[in-house]
Amino acid sequence: MVKSYLKFEPSNSFGVVASSNSNIVWSSRGKAGTGAGQAIAAANEEVFVWDIKKGELLARWKDENCRAKVTAIAQSRTDPDVFAVGYEDGSIRVWDSKIATSVVSFNGHKSAIVVLAFDKTGVRLASGAKDTDVIIWDLVAEVGQYKLRGHKDQITGLHFVEPDPVMQGEGDEGQPLMAVDTEAAEGFLLTTGKDALIKLWDLASRHCIETHVAQTNGECWALGVTPDCSGCVTAGNDGEMTVWALDVAALASSAQQVDLSQSINFLRDRGTLHRQSKERAVEVIFHPRRDYFAVHGVEKSVEIWRIRNEAEIKKSLARKKKRRREKLKEKKADRELEVDDADDKADDITKADISDVIVQHVIVRTAGKVRSIDWATNQGNKDMQLLVGSTNNLLELYTIIGKDKLESKGDAPDYNKALAVELPGHRTDIRSLAISSDDKMLASAANGSLKIWNIKTETCVRTFECGYALCCAFLPGDKVVVVGTKEGELQLYDVASATLLETVNAHEGHAIWSLQVHPDGKSVVSGGADKTAKFWDFKIVQEQVLGSTRTTPKLKLVQARILKVSDDILSLRFSPDAKLLAVALLDSTVKVFFVDTLKLYLNLYGHKLPVLSMDISYDSKLIVTSSADKNIRIWGLDFGDCHKALFGHQDSILQVVFIPHNSDGNGHHFFSASKDRTIKYWDADKFEQIQRIDGHHGEIWALAVSHSGTTLISASHDKSIRVWQETDEQIFLEEEREKELEELYESTLTTSLEQDPDSQDADREVAAASKQTVETLMAGERIAEALELGMADLNTLREWEEAKQSNPSVAPPQRNPIFLALGNIPAETYVLNTLQKIKPSALHDALLVLPFSAVPMLFTFLNLFALREMNVPLTCRILFFMLKTHHKQVVASRTMRAMLEGIRTNLRRALRRQKDEMGYNIAALRVVGMQIRERSVREYVDENWEAENGAEQGTRKRAFVHVS
């Protein structure tokens, strides 16, 4: 009989505040949040929305089909509820934050998305990736428009530059006329790459109109553009920042011209600034409403720079001029002419040195290395606030005092930390997990912190400061947690009172790699790098309260026995029957001792590298060991023979753990976790892998199985703690093997398709935004299948019609059961339904899968769609794409030419009718609009609105306007 097993599925995950592989975005307060606003941050494959004031998680956006990490986030400028999220596998999803669901998904890049940007109208999205391509996506049609190629290394910055169209001439009553030009409306795109280039692309003609070397020292890592697009800053290695002036007016007028002289340079180098830090820059972000910008690298600080206003620049220039005059006063008279020339130059602020225009305001020192920043702007909040996401799983909000808020002239600018989200996660990797005896609480220990979690609610109940924790365990009663540290200390923490009870210097400064509570619950054993295993008894000692005669009971650890071995102890385990103690040494051996006499019982040889973890089965009959040599070995504890050596993982196996009982005959089942980011579920009797559990994005340091055996908890380098629950779904090993082979085949299939770029697009600056995936291949197969079924049905019906002319009483033919099951629909409706079900973004790639022999069948149905006016936009889109793709073959075929004539006639008739209908509707709407305008009476006018609006616009001055 085939044995079936129960499957473990992901239940929930917690412990992440913000992962370090993506940027963060600030969103001003929504309906659900408090007045402080929200932080949108990546959390591995999910996106978290944090209420920055309460430190609460408001929403989590997760696509069940996506396991890739989030690498870029951008917010739409027109609709604040729309966010674009880029992933490590090159896919992009557009999320609606109100309903927390993905509304559109795109797939065009071959590698991780680095940067995303929306245009001014929120209709287009630009994406840049590590594959050096920039793709422009149409969010309305849900398709990729085109791919821009020009950079030779990963894209690091993107920004739409959309100048307002130039006014030309005057109309009636002196009203200026707008230059209405559909091409001009496309605007321009500014991009930077790691190849140290900055490029300006004309999106109307889809080519690069200007290229400059942005950084002199090798790489350009960041691009920041002023809110009015009059200038930008690029940043690279060695703390170097280049300031560029962008001639927006010339760009706007150039959009109207056909022939441009080559001498025009829209981008002009205005000089170089130097940051205090010499690390490479990561981000440059301008404040949306004030003359400040923030820049940071990979260090623990953010530099705030300020753009001076016109008066300040003039004052600075005058000071320099005065100094120069004083220096040259004593020199010869023949130098006077030269001085006057220099003075004239100094008076012109457009020629002022960039260091006179942009000055450093303040350096914000942060708690962790900075990964991403964003300006926090709230309605009515006059303070300048900066949101900082650190690489150590932390979000902080800083309030920065601007120049206008300084009390006196001599005051230095300052900042203060306003809020932070830090409790829901560890700052460093979790090295050990322990579950309480009632399976309700979880202890997680890391370098510097120990946290107690409620497993059901996923909330952090207690946080303790501790040393560099390497192992931890709940003591009987679940009220005390013991932690072993790298400094050789055993620390006892009381969960209820949140206090440190005692610190014992157990191993004299040598790391405690492992500890375990004795099965009887009366003692604990610790094993360290000092080549000893020490046994500690729990004693309740009456301790005198200071300043009084009263005594209070206190738990103490008292050393009872010591076991000395030949090498460092990496792991130790009691057998559940408390008779044996297994000790794993640095010399790759495992020694098994009797607990009562501490005499050697067994020596287990076989691993080539040290054993990192081990566990003993519930019945004390099997011991399983895992090693850095990627192997798992199953041994019998009766004779110490190796039952089986399994090549378990692709990297070091950090943890193995048995299910602690035998309720369903699963007492010999165990889990293993590795640096290769996977957990595997094994049967130690049959020596077979039951299930591979994927989900983590970093090496898995710790595993813990609940005492009920139905819950597995894992902790990883990606800072997440994941809970996996046993389900009622059964696993059959043959099916699992087949599924794994299919996954392997699909991954190799898509990578082989990607390695063959379209030959005609290989050397071009513009290419089609397409990418073959398993989804598009399956969609192509569905189209081919539907066409074959449809054609067979059309032929059957045609033959019946012909037979009916000679014999009217002939019975109708037997149609395919699929058509009958769908309500006896015609073949063209079935084919159209198949085409409509394919996502617009995947349609072109799916059509490319079709062989040319299927094109005549497709054109037959396109003719029927046009004749019956069925979904004309989709019909036109498919027709034009197929004509463009198979142009030469279609032109060469006589039968196809005749077919195209029919399609053209039918399509033109359908389009003409639709055009007339739309024209009639537009005219009617105009009439209705005129009637509403005539009847409407302005009952209320806000007199202050114009003045306020003017004042607000007046505050948006930009020094770039003067210096460009």
pLDDT tens, position by position, 289-321: 888 999 998 889 999 998 888 887 888 888 888
Residue-wise pLDDT tens digits, 431-479: 999 999 999 999 999 999 999 999 998 899 999 999 999 999 999 888 9
Q: State whether the Cα torsion 553-559-561-566 is positive or negative.
A: positive
Q: Which amino acid is at 701?
A: W
> Which of 831, 821, 823 is closest to 793 using CA atoms?
831
Q: For residues 595 and 573, give the distance between their C-alpha atoms in angstroms, rounded to a whole number.
A: 11
- pLDDT tens per residue across span 611-628: 999 999 999 999 999 999
**pLDDT of 825 above 50:** yes
pLDDT score for 628? 93
pLDDT for 173: 45
> Lowest mean pLDDT: which of 141-150, 162-171, 437-446, 685-694?
162-171
What is the distance between the alpha carbons of residues 564 and 542, in angstroms, rounded to a whole number? Answer: 32
Q: State how far the Cα of 223 lies from the Cα of 936, in Å rounded to an integer.
A: 48
In this predicted structure, the answer to whether residue 860 has a pLDDT above a threshold of 50 is yes
Q: 521-573: per-residue pLDDT in tens? A: 889 999 999 999 999 998 888 877 777 778 888 888 899 999 999 999 999 99
Of 517 and 734, which is predicted with more confidence?
517
**Which pLDDT does position 294 carry in this prediction?**
93
DSSP tag of 777? H
Would you say 612 and 631 are in contact if contact means Cβ atoms under 8 Å apart? no
Mean pLDDT, rounded, of the chain: 84
**pLDDT higher for 415 or 927?**
927
Mean pLDDT, range 581-605, rounded to an integer: 92
pLDDT of residue 33: 47
Q: What is the mean pLDDT of residues 234-251?
A: 87
172 has a pLDDT exceeding 70: no
Residue 177: which of 163, 159, 165, 160 has the closest Cα? 165
Looking at residues 263-285, what average pLDDT do you find? 85
Q: Please name which of 372, 530, 263 lies closest in space to residue 41, comparing C-alpha atoms.
A: 372
Q: What is the pLDDT of residue 219?
A: 87
Give Cα separations from 470 to 190, 452, 482, 702 (angstroms).
49, 16, 11, 10
The Cα–Cα gap between 86 and 78 comes to 19
754 pLDDT more than 60: no
Cα–Cα distance measured from residue 828 to residue 321, given in angstroms and rounded to the nearest whole number: 82
Residue type, 360: Q
Helix-, strand-, coil-residue percentages of the chain, each rounded to 5: 25, 40, 35
Residue 929: Cβ within 10 Å count? 10
On the question of pLDDT at 118 being above 90, the answer is yes
Give 361-415 as a DSSP string: EEEEE-SS-EEEEEEE--TT--SEEEEEEETTTEEEEEEE--GGG-SSTTPPP-E
The pLDDT assigned to 873 comes to 86
- Cα(828)–Cα(835) distance, integer angstroms: 11
- In this prediction, residue 780 has a pLDDT band, given cuts at 50, 70 and 90, of confident
Q: What percent of the chain has pLDDT over 90?
A: 37
Q: In Å, how far are 174, 447, 485 from 507, measured between CA atoms?
A: 91, 18, 10
Classify 780 as helix, strand or coil: helix
Question: What is the DSSP-derived secondary structure letter of residue 280?
Answer: P
Q: 12-16, 497-501, 805-809: which range is least confident on average?
A: 805-809
Q: Angle, nearest 10°, between helix axes 840-849 and 872-885?
A: 40
- Least Cα distance to 792 among 857, 867, 866 occurs for 857
Confidence at residue 137, expressed as pLDDT on a 0 to 100 scale: 92
pLDDT digits (tens, 9 = 90+) for 325-342: 887 776 654 455 455 555
Q: How far is the C-alpha of 903 from the C-alpha of 912, rounded, in Å?
A: 14
d(CA 446, CA 448): 6
CB 236 within 8 A of CB 206: no
pTM for this prediction: 0.84
> What DSSP string describes 841-865?
HHHHHHHHHS-GGGHHHHHHHHHHH
- Say if residues 268 and 296 touch (Cβ distance below 8 Å): no
| CA dihedral of 667, 668, 672, 678, whole degrees rounded to 10 | -80
On whether the CB atoms of residues 165 and 193 are closer than 8 A, the answer is no
pLDDT tens column, 63-107: 888 889 999 999 998 888 999 999 998 899 999 988 889 888 898
